[in-house]
Structure 1
Amino acid sequence: MSRPTPLRDVHESLGATLTDFAGWLMPLRYGSESAEHNAVRTAAGLFDLSHMGEIYVTGPQAGEALDYALVGHLSALAPGRARYTMIVNPEGGVLDDLIVYRLADEEFMVVANASNYVKVAAELTARAEAFDAVVDDRSEQWALIAIQGPRAQEILATLTDADLPGLKYYAGLPGVVDGRQALIARTGYTGEDGFELFVANDDAAPLWHALSKAGEPYGLRAAGLSSRDTLRLEAGMPLYGNELSAGLTPFDAGLGRVVKFDKPGDFVGRAALEAVKDTPPARRLVGLVAQGRRVPRHGYPVTKDGAVVGEVTSGAPSQTLGKPIAMAYVDTGVNEGLAVDIRGSQEAMDLVELPFYRRTK
């Protein structure tokens, strides 16, 4: 049975279509997917992300433990800052992509994907054994609400006196929002500016209602998983299980920049990743824009002159571009004459560099 988030009653009251996602009962949409998508691009959207995992790593050697466990240089993070990183297996395959927040000198919070956080917590626990550090999965204690879009800061500012203008991208600070304690992070998964608010479970519903009311004059809409997926696709952001997996390294995904070989000491997967870092992958992750109206979907073959040269990892109609788009792994060196086999029909595609959409700052 799917687990509800602390906001289940809110979603039901809004008439959301609920679906199972990674074992959680989540809102797929509240009405029009396109309206939710466009609200985030033009005003703001409100998302329930309470299915994500929050794993704390604390102690005198917490930073060193994370340096060993993950591919990033986390001990170099300043308190209050965050970093996108990955955890890989000894063969260099991606077990999950993560955001790590340094909350204090000896306190880090690792945010993992819903489908992976139990596995990530177990891996971190095992990898931290040789360090003076404690791993504690606190996912059950937290709800997570995201407000995303060009008007997100204006809306949130009506409910908090935290220094939002001074909060940098990939940074977080403790603050009070509508009278409730929260970790306010300037992060997101939509390609827009916005914030993610970590709050106690009991504070989730009151905070959602406060944000909804505050956002009404600005065009804020509740937004579900469907629009979150099309937004991140336009922004070229990978989804674990689609663009990332244990069979792919960060270099395969074009994300080798997150691997920090210059940090001190060894880390899990280092030897395997060093062996491939200078070798172009057999396939590279690219963007595809359909010349017609049919939508390429996950798993569809990418072809050239009838031969399979790749596979679609994510695809959807793009509200912003007005055309179907997809991310796909395509044979390195193949750039033109591409099509996607959509149920036996070869639909012509233009290859483009990612992302499809980049906001104006």
Structure 2
Amino acid sequence: MAPAKASRPLLATLAGCLLLLQLTIPAVQCAPSASALGRRALLQDIEQQATKKPKNDIPMAPKDVLQQSLFAANLSALAYPGTLLTSNSDVENTYTSPDSFQQYATALAAATASFSSHAPTFVQRLSQSFRHPETSARFLYAFVLPTNDATYVAFRGTDLTGYFDINAGASTGEDANSLQTPFSYGGAAAGNVHSGFLLSLTDVNVDSYNNDSFPNSISAYTELVAAIKAAQAAVGPSVPIILTGHSLGAAQASLAGFMLSRDGFSNLRLATFGCPQIGDAEWAAAFNATLGSSTMAWWNMADPVVQVPNIDEDPGCGNFGSHTDGSCVQNWFTVATRYRIDTVNSNMRCGKPSGSFAVCDSRSDSKFPANTLSCYTDVDLKTAFLSTDHYISHYIANLQACVTAAGGN
């Protein structure tokens, strides 16, 4: 939930505070003061709320859904070279040395050999060093792995390890370039999406936000399509295509899935973890109509990344963090098929919420247009940013706990 704002109506503020108390989320300060509302009446309301069963609940997902999601989460983790290479110098060298990247490729093939007889195909991007502009390197963008059951596509998320000047710079540049741009790939216009996420797929310059001087010969999406077609040739076109990714990789998987559907690919499925908001209401509606029923978008309850960008904290706007003049108001929505993991309350549960855990703040004053929505989780941003719920390792551990609880392995 968004922190309480002085501009909110009194009842809305009180309702928000009571909901937080109801969900036993600590360290949230609510305004106005109890004395202004009548201390006795407020305490009675809190006592009544405490005795009621929370209306929001997370029924446990079916065991097969949990097992499929856990498998996809592990693949998403393998898209980070640091998952398989324990030495920091080895991770750094994967971006500058072909031999070191081959070390990662060999380790990945070994890690996936138990369920695939095929070696993964890599989509890599050329970038340049911020510190040494004359040098360049290719870093991992995604890998495609054909199996007898599915063709898996795992996107790497923002990577702050390894060769920082190259890899982290390119990743964070994509993350921060959040000014919305129209989406019309392969068909009719479908709202607006995050510029950095889209350009990372479609632009030959991976650092498209600053027009780097080391362009790739083709876009990541073109290279990705070629890898998927090669995988289908190996295992047949009837097996599903399952796209997965964590963080930035989750956003790229979602956009790529929508683009693949417009290019005639069928039997597409998605499993994403910690996915940020990608586009506006029109784009979200188009995505949900196409892939909503085949998407499992997992969200740890206190993961801050799934809350951004939003209307208050949007780096795509020039007045980031304030928006006092209302000059940049972007509506952000996301996929409807959210699966939540309760990491706040004592009972670990993973599944689709029976109620809505997202709270939207409607602005209607003179600085913001009516019906402008900004969605938050039921954990305030400050609390969320102090948590570790975004780590892919935490998604894996939580899903494993839920699989075990559901009677699986």
TM-score, normalisation: structure 2: 0.19
Give the structure with the higher percent strand. 1
Greater gyration radius? 2
Structure with greater proportional helix content: 2
